[in-house]
Chains A and B, each alone.
Chain A
Amino acid sequence: MSDPGILVLSSLVEGDKHGYAIMVDIEQFAGLRLGPGTLYGAITRLEQRGWIEPVPSDDDRRQPYTLTAAGRRHLAAEMLTLERVVRTAARRLKQA
């Protein structure tokens, strides 16, 4: 659960955020602090794939991003896979 792309998508599900807000949010819900290079590497990739996009903002320096429909579908698919893994692991742990 440390893929920066998934973390950024998970953060943007809640609402539009700029880079620093994403970083703080991820630190709060995942306990993981992404470095600025890692965060913007993920943002660049996600935007290139069309999973997030910039939204207009009053602040000309802090650029907020929003989740696209494709990004939402991708995140949902990833969550399903993760959920299966988590459930299987939990069941096996109980049996062990």
Chain B
Amino acid sequence: MKLWLRCFARLYPAAWRARYGREFEALLDDLRPSWRDLWDIIYGAFLMQLSTPAAYWKLGAVTAVLGAILATGWSFTLPRRYVSTVVMRMDPQPTDSAFHQLSSIQQEVLSRRSLSELIQRPGLDLYRDERKGHPLEDIIQGMRSRDIRIQALTTFPGRDSIAFRIEFAHSDPAKAQAVAAALADKFTSAPGLEVLDRANLPTSAVSPNPLRIAIFGLAAGFALGLTIAFFRRLFRDRAWARAPYFRYALACGALLAIVSGFASYAIADRYVSTAVLRLYPPDPARLNQLQQEVFSRSNLARIIQRPQLDLYRRQRQHDPLEDIVEQMRRDISVHSAGGPLPAFTVQFEYPDRFKSQAVVRELVTSFIQANFAHPGGKMVLEVLDPASLPAAPAFPNRLTFVALGLAAGIPIGLLIAFIRRSPPSDPSLPARMSASPV
């Protein structure tokens, strides 16, 4: 045991050992050691290391290694994801109607009916465990927004064609390949579409990447270590840092920041798709009339109830359609785009990013149709930017949630400190104390 104690005593900083090393070893020789002493030496060495000028880097290095070890271990508990890819091409010279048709087919492929059929197809039987605990609608939404990716590729040099890639990610490589192939089959119903690269059988998982996660753990651990060392040095031997007001404010602020940060994950993500249009020559009155038509009850009700979109499905089960239309009007926004062009943006916010994009497309089409049918003469309505496919949710902003939690926690902490420091009023206490014989 004494040998162990001597070994761990070497964990103390070199400068400390130069000053106290001999007498510390003499103490170890004199005492009857126990396992508690071993721990006491390790902890004492750790605290002593933190008191050296290089404590920042030492603590950062220790927490970085711990972070890397924990992150690597955690990465092995994550499910593996394999991605199968199909490359398709539209050829030759695509026309506007072909693009429109492709867009319709994409909506159809990603529709509830189509994905539901794929999920429940006996040969595939996707998400079997998740389907036991979640409604099919949630499974479909997860499949659409997380596992399927359709990306346009650059046009082949010298060819008027458009190519795109369909990817499907799954924990089973064979199922990933089968689903990617099935999605490609659905697209081939469009004229002029051909498969360039068939769905591959993925041999290695794309995620989790243990190396990347370990590096992330290393960096996070290092940052945490530096932060702890910084605050330790800041607060050490400072009277204000020991003041209850400061401690309560800091503790409550940090606690509420963490809680609100985690709580933000319970809120459904909302995506915003945007399109930019231009009415030329500028005519605010005409634009106002177009908006009234596009955002009319009948047009929005038509979009809401369109089978491929099936918007606000849950709310429609208990709320009248009139309320749903009002809700949709609140989720739509039209703003001037600014700049030299008389342009304006149309935005729609929704929990499903594909539906958000599809709705903005519908609204743009409605604007064009309303402009075309307008009796007040022909004006040019140009689509400067088509409906975007939002990549990241616009809400909730997790950083804002954390900042709000921190801001709310600090005054609460101060209030708690004030209440705890105020003794219960007892008017007789001074008299009793002075009368006491002790």
Return B22 CB to nearest CB of chain A, in Å.
Answer: 5
Complex contacts, A87 vs chain B, CB 8 Å? 438
- Is the CB–CB distance between A41 and B48 below 8 Å? yes
Q: A44-B16, A44-B20, A90-B438 are in contact. Are A39 and B27 (CB under 8 A)?
A: yes
Binds A, one of B30-38, B271-279, B328-336: B30-38
Q: Scan A10-40; emit 1 where CB is below 8 A from any B CB, else 0.
A: 0000000011100100000000000111111
- Is the CB–CB distance between A37 and B44 below 8 Å? yes
Number of interface residues of B (CB under 8 A): 25
- Is the CB–CB distance between A23 and B438 below 8 Å? no
Q: Does B43 contact A (CB under 8 A)?
A: yes
Complex contacts, A60 vs chain B, CB 8 Å? 22
Complex partner residue of A41 from B22, B26, B28, B44, CB under 8 angstroms: B44
Q: Which of A44-95 contact B (CB under 8 A)?
A: 44, 59-63, 87, 90-91
Q: Scan B92-125; emit 1 where CB is below 8 A from any A CB, else 0.
A: 0000000000000000000000000000000000
Q: Which of B35-94 contact A (CB under 8 A)?
A: 36-37, 39-45, 47-48
Chain A minimum-CB-distance residue to B30: A20
Complex contacts, B45 vs chain A, CB 8 Å? 37
- Is the CB–CB distance between A36 and B23 below 8 Å? no
- Is the CB–CB distance between A37 and B27 below 8 Å? no
Q: Does B436 contact A (CB under 8 A)?
A: yes
Q: Does B265 contact A (CB under 8 A)?
A: no
Complex contacts, A90 vs chain B, CB 8 Å? 438
- Is the CB–CB distance between A38 and B44 below 8 Å? yes
- Is the CB–CB distance between B36 and A61 below 8 Å? no
A7 to B26 alpha-carbon distance, docked (Å):
21
Interface centre among A23, A40, A44, A91 (most CB of B within 10 A): A40
A59 to B31 alpha-carbon distance, docked (Å):
17
Complex contacts, B26 vs chain A, CB 8 Å? 18-20, 59, 61-63
- Is the CB–CB distance between B24 and A36 below 8 Å? yes
Complex partner residue of A36 from B28, B47, B436, B438, CB under 8 angstroms: B28
- Is the CB–CB distance between A35 and B44 below 8 Å? yes
A82 to B436 alpha-carbon distance, docked (Å):
18
Q: A23-B31, A90-B438 are in contact. Are A37 and B40 (CB under 8 A)?
A: yes
Seen from chain A, the residues whose Cβ lies within 8 Å of a Cβ on chain B are 18-20, 23, 35-41, 43-44, 59-63, 87, 90-91
Subset of 18 A-B contacts with CB under 8 Å: A18-B23, A18-B26, A20-B26, A20-B27, A20-B31, A35-B37, A35-B39, A35-B41, A35-B44, A36-B5, A39-B27, A40-B24, A41-B47, A44-B20, A44-B48, A61-B25, A62-B23, A91-B438
Closest 6 CB pairs of A and B: A37-B44, A35-B40, A61-B26, A20-B30, A37-B40, A63-B23
Seen from chain B, the residues whose Cβ lies within 8 Å of a Cβ on chain A are 5, 16, 20, 22-28, 30-31, 36-37, 39-45, 47-48, 436, 438
